[in-house]
Structure formats: C-alpha cells, structure tokens
A and B are shown apart, each in its own frame.
Chain A
Amino acid sequence: MGKVFAFHGGVHPPENKKQSTRTPIAHAPLPKMLYIPLQQHIGIAANPVVNVGDRVLKGQLIAEPVGRISASLHAPTSGIVRSIGPHPVPHASGLESDCITLETDGQDEWIEHQGLQDYTRLEPSVLIEHIRQCGIAGMGGAGFPTDVKLHLGDDHIVNTLIINAAECEPYITADDMLMRERAADILSGIRIISHLLRPSHIMIGIEDNKPQAIHALEAVLKGCELNIDIRVVPTKYPSGGERQLIQLLTGLEVPSGRIPADIGIVCQNVGTATAIHRAVHFGEPLISRIVTVTGDAVAKPQNFEALIGTPFADLLEAANLYEGRLFRLVMGGPMMGVTIAHDQIPVIKTTNCIIAASDEEMPQAPPEQPCIRCNMCEQVCPVTLLPQQLYWFSKGREFDKARNHNLFDCIECGACAYVCPSSIPLVQYYRFAKSEIRTEEAEQRKADHARQRFEARQARLEREQAEKEARRKARAEEAARAQQSRKSTEADKAQADPCNTAPAASAAPDLKQLKTAAAVARTKLKKARDALKNAEDKGLDGIDALRVTLTDLEQKSEEAEQAFKAAEQAEAAAAAEKGVDLKQLKIDAAMARAAVTKLERALTKTEDEQARREMETELVEARKKSDALNQSLSEHSPA
C-alpha cells in the first residue's frame, strides 16, 4: 500500500451505511411503466429514434446521441412505447422534461447482441465508439459521457488512472455492494480502460469503512498483470470528490479551471468500469444500475439492481415503505442530494441513492440566522475557499466579487453548511450565485451575438442602398445618353423624311390609366365645388362661369368614372372566367379580418360619440366585406 496524502478540511457526518448492506443486491421487480428521460447525462439531450406505438426489445436503441458530448439511450426491457413527452425528471428544479414512456410487456426479450471477440486487437477508436453506442455515462454522479473521457489519451499523456471507489457520502452503499459482489467485473472493466488509456499506474481509491469490499478487490487482484494499487484512504467526507481523491492519492492539486487529464490523471467510477465490462464483453448497453434505497421510512433498506426509468415509487414499494413515516424523499446522498416532491420520478444513469427519511432523521432545516464569522466553514472547506466571503457576496448579489473569490471552484459538497452554527444554507447561496452568473454570461453572449447580427444587417442595408443609388445613377446617365443619341438620330431622320412623324396610337384602354383619370377628374370636381362654394359664401363675381365649369367637370368625371367601371367589370369578368385567384382571395380575407379586429380595438378605445358612431358603421361594413370574402374563400377553396 502506497502513501496516502491529505486534503484540507472535510467533515465526519454519521455514516448510516450499515442499514443497506445487510442483504445482497436484489433485482427490483419489473415495473409496469418505465420513464426514460432523454437528458440523463451532461451535454445535449438524446434524440428519440422510436415512435409512439413501436414495440421495442430489451437493449434496442431508442434515442441516439446528438453531438460530441451526448449519450445514447436503450430500452431497459421489451415493451411498447406509449408516449414521448414531458414527465417529472430527477432534477433539482422539479420541472418536467421529455421522457420516453415504455409500457413493459413482462417478457424481457433481448435484442440480438454480442460482445466484442477480442477487444485488444481492435483500433482504440472502434472500441471507444462501441462504448459510446452502449450509452455509457459516468455513474458516480455527474454523468459525463464516458467515451469522451476515454478519448483523453489521444491528446493528453495519461500516466495515472484512478478508480473512484471512495463513496464518501453517508447512506450510499451502491458502489460498496457492487465491489463486494462483482469485483471481477470491475477488474475486467479496468482492464479495458487501461488498454485504451495506457496509464503506467492504476490506483483504486477506497475509504477504510468498506473492509469487505477491500477484501473482495484484493482477492481478484491476486496475480493480476496490471500495475494496480488499492489505496485505502481514511473515511472523511468528501474524499470521493474527483479532485479530493486525486489529492489524497497523488498529493497533486488539479489547477482551477483545468481537468485532471491536464496533470496526467483520469478518474473513473467503479460502476462505470462494470458498465464498460458488460458493454464490451456481452454487448449489453447501460440499461440498469445499482440503487441504494434506504432511510428510516423503509422497512428493508437495501440495494437494488434497477432498470433505468424505474419510478422511485416502485423501488420504495419493493423496500416496504412505511407511508406514514415518510417525511421527505431525497435523491442522492444527504449532503449533496436534493429533496424531491414526486415519487414517479425515474431512476437515471446517475441515480445512486434514494433516501426515504423520517421526520426525526432529516427534520426541516432550522431557520437561517445571521453569520457570526466563526470561520468553521473555512476550516472544513475541501477546496480551501472562503465560504463566508462567498456567502456575503452571493447574498449581496456582488457576483463579480464572488467569482473573483473562486466561486466556480466550489464543488457544492455541503461541508460548510453542515458545520454552520447559524444553519445558513450556504450551498444554496452558492448555487444561486453560480446560476445567476451563468445566466448573465449567457445573456451577454446572446447580446453580443445580437449586436453582431444587427451591425451586419445595418452594413448590408447601407451597401444595398449605395448599390441602388449607383444603379439609379447609371440608369439616369444611360437614359440621358440614349435621349441624346435619339435626338440626334431624330433630327437626322426629320431631315431625311419630314412627313413620317405620327406616333403609334395607344392600344386598348389601360385599367390603371383609367383609374388615375377617374381619380383626377374626381379631384378636379371637388376643387371646383369648393371654389364655387367659397365664391358663393363671399359673394364674389364669376359665379356663373364657375357653375358652367362645374357642370362640365361633373360630366367629365362621370364619364371617366363610367369608363373605369366598365373596364374594371370587363377585367373582373375576364378574371372570373380564368377562375378565382385563391391566393389573392385568401390574402384579401386575411386583410379584411385584420381590418375588423383593428376597428374593433379602436372602437373600444375611442370615447367620442360621433367618432364611435362612424366607426360602428365602418365596422359593420368591414364585417360584411370580411364575411363575404370568407364565404367566397370557403366556396372556392378545395374541400
């Protein structure tokens, strides 16, 4: 056994692990319904590849990964896809998210699958792709897609592989039981990871409160060809944190904002190692995991091998839940877990523990009291931050200062809140500050993006304007030149042939021209009327002359109007013969509808009696028009 280092701080909460290690891992009964969230991992949610009503077999791909950091999903048992839609998911927000709901058929029929013959002969990238296809994501808690971590050997020199078996959080025994019962599988998984990353040294970090697991591991490691060390570390929370375990085993600190691979270390959880073993040797995707169901409110606390998607309620029932004693349901451990309100939330790839706690076991948090600057939080912080400073900054919304005090190095382990004599929910403050900062950053990114687009658009409009201007100028010049040349040719022609000057008569009356003519006549008439009225009022001379002009104009206007109407009717008839333009009709109908709504809105706003009456008549007309248009639309639109 090698030397074990230490990390700053840490706490020793009551372990409460014995309750759930008395019986071996049991298979959870097959639930009636499985709810498989599309987002179970860090990264982009998977994209479903099955349809509602499809029958799927156990192990069949039901959702494929999207992008580099994502994981695929497989049917945990055979059954029928009942729906794809929102369902409560294991998330601190308590919100719903898209899940594939699978109704199990009880046959548990496997899809055809087989392991890889000899993985050592395969290209590493092929082997990693196989692991990616099996949907394996880190099972320690974060759910980072494992294949991405296995690729770390490509661009980093990995000299140490650390297998995380510390399981430091109270109550949780899933990894402990896994090691006791399936140590050989874990070793086989480690072999595969080691084959891919080729580390010179492998260490299994395990806390000294799991003697049986240590024994089991030692037994399988006898005669093993790999350079594996079991490093037993003293029980102290949070020794299972990735960075803390690295510090314990190697004495090295991962720099802030970097990943362990930057200092040549890769960490994998024992559960993940088992999943890799099953994927490579049997071709089985990640469709089940070990879940600890414990707490005072269950009669038989134990570990279950549960299918992904099993609702918590089914597991609690299998562990004999005392309904009356259940005070709160916690997902994860008591230090980092979150209280959930809904027992239909399903098990996902990262669910390691469900605690059904009684009132005495996990009472309501006492009220928050003022910080007395006792400094106990600073003494236990495993990341050597200044928790109380972070608390002040988060509370005072001075997020910049919080960030400068390395808020983002906080691993949210909860040790500070655990020792706080004023029972301040410190971690909640940090989570709040972190999400505020992240949102602000996202908004800033979005704003910058919008500015870029706005400026690009502005530049484009200006360019278009300039081009238009240039074209207009060019056209004008062209026209001027053309006119010039025409004039000169005409002059030549006139000289040559003086009698040929009559222009060609215009063709049939143009509707547009007629309309303009009618409008012009109308305007003239109106003006003449106004002038006449003015003259009459003031008793000016020349009234008679004006009257004559007026009658003349009236006649002219009438004529123009009639000509226009006749032309329009002819046009309409022609159009009717051609068949009604459906699209035009649709547009007209929509415009009429919009006009009606606009008028209605205006009507509610105006208070003037007269204006109201006018508007009402207008509205009635608009409605009539809209109705007529709608009717003709429904007549003409194909059924």
Chain B
Amino acid sequence: MTTVITAILILFCLAVVFGVILGYASVRFRVEGNPIVDQIDSLLPQTQCGQCGYPGCRPYAEAIANGEAINKCPPGGQSTIEALADLLDVEAVPLDAEHGEEQVKKVAFIREDECIGCTKCIQACPVDAILGAAKQMHTVIVDECTGCDLCVEPCPVDCIDMIPVETTITNWKWPSPTESSSLIATDRGRGAEQQEAH
C-alpha cells in the first residue's frame, strides 16, 4: 500500500514541478505574433501588387500561414513557390494561372509630356516610388519601382507604360550550360534512328 502511495506522491510532485516549469516558460519565452508569417513574408517578392487577391505581401503571408495555397504569387514565380514549399514542407505546385502569369521583370515609366499631374498614381504606388506633386509632372524612381503595375490603372490619361528591364552587362546572368549529358556521345546516331523508327 505504501509503495502505491509513494508512487502516486512522486508522480504528483513531478507533475507539479513540470507544470510550474511549463507555466513559467510559456510566460518567459512567449513569442509575439506568428513567427512563421515573418519567414513567409521574407520569401515573398514584396511587390505589394495584390495579384494574389490580398492587399499586399504581408496579408498573403498571413493567409498562407492559415492554410492558403502557396501558388498565387505571379511576380515571385516558381522559385518563390519552391522556397515556400521548402519552408512549409508541402508539395510545390505550379503557379495558379488565375492570378496571372510569371512575367519578365518590368518597371513603370511615365511619358512625362502627357502627364497632367493628377497624383493618382502617387497614391496608388505601394512603395512611394513615384515622385511629383499636384499639377506637376510625375516621374518614376526606377530603382525603387517593384513593377507591381498598380499605377497603370488609375492614370486618367494612360501615360504610364510598363517597360521590361533591359539586360545590361551589370545584370547579365551566366546561362546554364546546355543539358546534353543524357546522351552518350557514340549513341547519338543510334538514338536518332530509333526515334525515326518509332
């Protein structure tokens, strides 16, 4: 009988001790907000374009943390989807075409002599990349533009173009070497014959 009581007492004490430790830890090491949202947000391209259906990158990151699909970000493209899949340990899926297609990087350009100075694009720009004032000509700060295209629609005189970023020697990338390793050099002729036979 005493052994049973001792066992129960020991277990009870242990439970109290761990309960206290856990209770203390939950107060002491409390994390404000959801840290996964920050991690997701840091992977998104921050164009704030809203093509995903959310009003910015952070809201979409929050939605992803709550189970939203990860393939709704056209500016990020497949590489962002893969990074997100990696982070969240889910399957990488192809980009959802409903929200737009992956396009070459673009920046906005204002045809300045047509600008009437209405400031509508300035209000639309999520990163303050358009400079100007009421009744003054506006212009885009190219280095700050994320190419989100949100300024195009509000312009009453249609003077904003989205121009693809040109490849220069400073942003040129080495191409991947051509993939021909699947063939054995001496097999090339034979492979061709077989293909023709089929």
Contact = CB atoms under 8 A, between A and B. Distances in A.
- Indicate, yes or no, whether A interacts with B: yes
Interface of A: 39, 89, 91-93, 95, 97, 366-370, 424-425, 428-429, 431-432, 434-436, 439-440, 443, 446-451, 453-454, 456-457, 583, 586-587, 590-591, 593-594, 597-598
B172 A450 contact: no
Nearest to A586: B116
Interface of B: 41-42, 44-48, 56-57, 79, 114, 116, 126-129, 135, 144, 146, 156-158, 167-178, 180-181, 183-185, 188
B172 A95 contact: yes
Given A92-B174, A367-B183, A368-B180, A451 B169 contact: no
B174 A454 contact: no
Given A451-B41, A453-B127, A369 B177 contact: no
Contacts of A443: 45
A450 B47 contact: yes
Contacts of B185: 366-367, 369
Given A95-B169, A367-B183, A457-B126, A591 B174 contact: no
B116 to A, nearest CB: 5
Contacts of B177: 368, 425, 428-429, 432
B146 A432 contact: no
A593 B114 CA distance: 11
Nearest to A365: B177
19 contacts: A39-B170, A89-B169, A91-B169, A91-B172, A93-B167, A97-B168, A97-B169, A367-B185, A429-B176, A429-B177, A431-B174, A435-B172, A439-B173, A450-B144, A454-B126, A587-B116, A590-B157, A591-B157, A593-B157
Nearest to B125: A457
B127 A450 contact: yes
A28 B177 CA distance: 37
A590 B173 contact: no
B184 A432 contact: no
B178 to A, nearest CB: 8
Contacts of B175: 432
A440 B181 CA distance: 26
A106 B114 CA distance: 48
Contact of A450 (B116, B146, B156): B146
A451 B174 contact: no
A93 B172 contact: yes
B56 A453 contact: no
B4 to A, nearest CB: 56
Nearest to A598: B158
B78 to A, nearest CB: 11
B58 to A, nearest CB: 8
B47 to A, nearest CB: 7
A441 B173 CA distance: 13
Contacts of A370: 181
The listed residue with most A CB atoms (<10 A of its CB), out of B146, B173, B174, B175, is B174
A369 B56 contact: no
A454 B173 contact: no
Given A431-B174, A457-B126, A593-B157, A368 B181 contact: yes
Contact of A367 (B129, B144, B180): B180
A425 B57 CA distance: 40
B38 to A, nearest CB: 11
A435 B174 contact: yes
A424 B181 contact: yes
Contacts of A446: 46, 146
Contact of B127 (A424, A439, A454, A594): A454
The listed residue with most A CB atoms (<10 A of its CB), out of B41, B47, B146, is B146
Contacts of B178: 368
A415 to B, nearest CB: 17
B114 A590 contact: yes
Nearest to A422: B181
B149 to A, nearest CB: 14
B44 A432 contact: no
A51 B44 CA distance: 45
Contacts of A598: 158
Nearest to B159: A590
B174 A450 contact: no
The listed residue with most A CB atoms (<10 A of its CB), out of B56, B135, B156, B157, is B157
B158 A594 contact: yes
A454 B56 contact: yes
A259 B170 CA distance: 23
Contact of A435 (B146, B156, B168, B173): B173
